[in-house]
């Protein structure tokens, strides 16, 4: 009887404990426990935004995004699962066998891009979580997961560059996380990336979404597409030609810019040795990731004589056919400046001073213009000022303020030494002369996308009168003139384009020798800027060659004129520009 009483007491106590626990769970702590349960099954998921595309002026894709997956693995957890399954059923592969199967299978599915040994090392690591591969196509991921369910996957956006190296120096690249790393991909990252969204839902035991549980849905806002002004066909051609010119000339590097005369829009901007955006940058250690046309200023040399020519005509200090007795050297402010060739006093016309690129004749005209008016003209041409083109890392170049000119400044600046300019700025100067004296700030982002990209509308600056601009264009046709006797030949005759009037200017500038911080007598910047056609301007081409040993076509001398002829000829044919209505009249360079 005593035992029964004890047993009943125990049963009663147990029942009271259970009842008390049920009261606590269902009444006292019900709200708290319910909240915890909801929190455990509640999942907030990120809805990734699709990165905007970058296209050329005709809508051709330069960069776009595609859906992809990153292959993941949980080494510790999966190895335990495999071991437990093998214990329960010895016919199931053991840990080592199964890991080897997964490594071999994944490597094969990825085409051997990652070795089986490297994958196996990841599978056997002591980490809780590892990435096996990134940017794997959805089809390949499905094939892998169907055969090896132990492998997980995360959604990724795969950035694709169909043209590989095409305009890579402009477009740039993204990093492994899909964020902009260089170029426009970096500077316009916030515009291209868009904004990720989120959604919350309840997850059942099997991992599936409980029907009707989705809430707090904030859709992703996809990134904006950006249209550029460049033409893919022209960009490809110019890129191929600057690479060829580097090889033929032996230059350290070669760059070229093509502008539309009427709009100032960049049609092509190419460097040699750029990178392949479709490959990881880590695999291209020698590639040039920058954009020298906007980031790397240089002393332009005689190409800059267009400032003196424009000022001399605008202020009426000379005329194209005026004859000047030009000696072989001139002394200014204690500095002696020589022409590039030895000669006595020669009767050069104003046209001939620029056609033959006489330093002495140019300085004689600059003295007539005067320092103040020359400095004003330099500013109107936009030198020493960023163009605001919208490309990252743009340099303003360097032009000393008039108040800081030393005794020898005015003996250097009119012949393109003592100041620095980017290739884009140099080309923009000639756009102003080609466009009847109006310089339009160059732009590379199409007008309809400029505001979103944070780029202001281009400003127009009246540099010289329409008549002065036309006269300069006509005078600079002398640079392209050939004469079997050499007397009336210009310095850029190799750049002439059959059937078209063209004008331009060659340039040779001494580079600074860092060992003495003085001008080198062995290293030069070789430049060229030209207008095609000269009688009805459509295009301006600017070229920079860093210390070549031959001309751009491999011939003797050091000239970029042949490269202008090649690019200009392609441009005119591509756009089906009619031949000039008449041949260039013979110009008088020497009286």
Which of 14, 42, 358 lies closest to 201, judged by CA? 42
Which of 183, 143, 152, 128 lies closest to 72, judged by CA? 152
CA distances from 172 to 127, 231, 379, 424 (A): 34, 17, 31, 18
Q: In terms of DSSP bridges, do strands 130-136 and 503-513 run parallel, antiparallel, or are they unpaired?
A: unpaired
Distance from C-alpha of 300 to C-alpha of 509, rounded to nearest angstrom: 6
Q: Which residues of 523-562 are buried (b: 16+ CB within 10 A; e: fewer)?
A: ebbbbbbbbbbbbebbbbbbbbbbbbebbbbeeeebbbbb
Which tokens in the block code for residue 495?
Answer: 């750049």
CA distances from 522 to 4, 432, 510, 513, 547 (A): 115, 33, 8, 9, 9
For residues 412 and 418, the answer to whether their CB atoms sit within 8 Å is yes
DSSP character string of 117-170 = HHHHHHHTSS-S-EEEEEEE-HHHHHHHHHH-TT-EEEEEEEEE-TTTTTTHHH
3-state secondary structure of 241: helix
Q: In terms of DSSP bridges, do strands 54-55 and 226-227 run parallel, antiparallel, or are they unpaired?
A: parallel
Active site residue: 157, 187, 302, 420, which one?
Answer: 302
Which tokens in the block code for residue 56?
Answer: 């050329």
For residues 110 and 140, the answer to whether their CB atoms sit within 8 Å is yes
Q: Residue 156: which residues within 8 A CB-CB, separation 6 or more?
A: 67, 68, 69, 70, 134, 135, 178
DSSP character string of 418-444 = S-BB-HHHHHHHHHHHHTTTEEE--B-
For residues 73 and 130, the answer to whether their CB atoms sit within 8 Å is yes
For residues 23 and 29, the answer to whether their CB atoms sit within 8 Å is no
Distance from C-alpha of 577 to C-alpha of 541, rounded to nearest angstrom: 16
| CB atoms near residue 466 (< 10 Å) | 12
Q: What is the dihedral of CA 172, 177, 179, 183, to 10 degrees?
A: -10
Which tokens in the block code for residue 266?
Answer: 């960049």
Is 302 one of the annotated active-site residues of the chain?
yes
Q: Which residues are catalytic?
A: 302
């Amino acid at each position: 009887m005593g035992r029964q009483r004890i047993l009943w007491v125990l049963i009663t106590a147990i029942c009271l404990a259970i009842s008390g626990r049920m009261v606590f769970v269902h009444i006292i702590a019900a709200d708290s426990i319910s909240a915890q349960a909801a929190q455990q099954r509640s999942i907030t998921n990120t809805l990734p935004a699709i990165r905007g595309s970058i296209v050329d002026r005709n809508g051709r894709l330069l960069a776009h995004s595609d859906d992809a997956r990153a292959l993941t693995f949980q080494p510790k957890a999966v190895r335990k699962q495999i071991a437990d399954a093998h214990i329960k059923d010895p016919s199931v592969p053991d840990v080592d066998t199964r890991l080897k199967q997964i490594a071999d299978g994944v490597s094969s599915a990825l085409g051997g891009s990652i070795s089986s040994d490297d994958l196996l090392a990841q599978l056997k690591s002591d980490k809780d979580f590892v990435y096996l591969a990134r940017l794997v196509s959805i089809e390949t991921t499905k094939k892998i997961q169907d055969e090896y369910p132990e492998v997980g996957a995360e959604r990724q956006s795969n950035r694709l560059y169909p043209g590989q190296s095409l305009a890579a120096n402009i477009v740039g690249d993204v990093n492994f996380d899909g964020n902009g790393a260089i170029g426009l991909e970096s500077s316009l990252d916030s515009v291209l990336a868009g904004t990720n969204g989120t959604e919350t839902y309840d997850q059942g035991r099997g991992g599936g979404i409980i029907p009707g549980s989705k809430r707090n849905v904030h859709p992703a806002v996809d990134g904006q597409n950006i249209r550029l002004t460049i033409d893919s066909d022209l960009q490809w051609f110019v890129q191929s030609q600057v690479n060829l010119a580097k090889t033929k000339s032996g230059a350290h590097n070669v760059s070229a810019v093509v502008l539309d005369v009427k709009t100032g829009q960049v049609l092509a901007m190419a460097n040699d040795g750029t990178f392949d955006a479709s490959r990881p940058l880590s695999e291209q250690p020698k590639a040039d990731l920058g954009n020298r046309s906007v980031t790397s200023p240089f002393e332009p040399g005689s190409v800059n004589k267009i400032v003196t020519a424009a000022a001399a005509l605008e202020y009426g200090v000379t005329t194209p056919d005026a004859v000047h007795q030009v000696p072989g050297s001139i002394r200014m402010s204690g500095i002696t400046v020589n022409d590039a060739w030895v000669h006595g006093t020669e009767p050069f016309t104003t046209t001939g001073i620029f056609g033959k690129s006489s330093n002495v004749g140019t300085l004689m005209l600059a003295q007539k213009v005067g320092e103040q008016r020359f400095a004003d003209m330099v500013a109107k041409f936009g030198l020493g000022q960023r163009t605001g083109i919208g490309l990252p890392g743009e340099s303003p170049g360097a032009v000393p303020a008039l108040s800081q000119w030393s005794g020898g400044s005015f003996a250097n600046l009119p012949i393109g030494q003592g100041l620095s300019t980017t290739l884009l700025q140099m080309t923009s100067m000639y756009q102003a002369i080609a466009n009847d004296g109006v310089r339009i700030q160059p732009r590379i982002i199409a007008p309809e996308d400029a505001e979103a990209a944070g780029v202001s509308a281009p400003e127009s600056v009246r540099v010289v009168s329409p008549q002065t601009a036309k006269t300069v264009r006509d005078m600079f046709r002398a640079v392209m003139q050939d004469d079997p006797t050499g007397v009336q030949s210009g310095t850029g005759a190799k750049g002439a384009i059959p059937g078209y009037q063209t004008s331009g200017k060659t340039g040779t500038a001494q580079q600074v020798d860092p060992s003495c911080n003085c001008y080198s007598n062995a290293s030069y910047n070789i430049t060229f800027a030209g207008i095609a056609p000269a009688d009805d301007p459509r295009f301006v081409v600017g070229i920079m060659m860093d210390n070549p040993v031959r001309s751009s076509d491999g011939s003797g001398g050091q000239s970029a004129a042949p490269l202008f002829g090649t690019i200009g000829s392609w441009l005119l044919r591509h756009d089906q520009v009619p031949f000039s209505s008449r041949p260039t009249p013979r110009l008088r360079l020497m009286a």
